[in-house]
Amino acid sequence: MKKPSDFIKHPWSCVFMSNEHESIAVNIMVILKRTGNEWRSLTFEEYETERKKDGGYSRVEKAYFDDVSPYTHSADKAAIFSETWKDIFEN
């Protein structure tokens, strides 16, 4: 079974066709990995706290987080997010 750590690879050509969305999705996977490496819903408050630890956080990330979050609750949802992650899911 695939874990969030398997999806840390940049998800090129995501459903939003936006590098900002892709970057936030990777940030979420990194946070999920760091906090237990299990699939779960991540609140924005937890995301914000963890991103501040990483440095370079901006409140602008909230809009992208809201779009991306539904694709980060499970491996099959992540597979829908981009072809890159679909390949990870299937292999």
Average pLDDT, the chain: 97
Please give the model's pTM, rounded to 2 decimal places: 0.96
pLDDT tens-digit readout, 30-60: 999 999 999 999 999 999 999 999 999 999 9
pLDDT band at 12 (very low <50, low <70, confident <90, very high): very high
Q: By the 8 A CB rule, do 77 and 70 touch? A: yes
CA-based nearest residue to 44, from 25, 60, 23, 65: 65
Give the start-to-end residue ranges of the domains of the chain. 4-8+16-90
pLDDT band at 17 (very low <50, low <70, confident <90, very high): very high
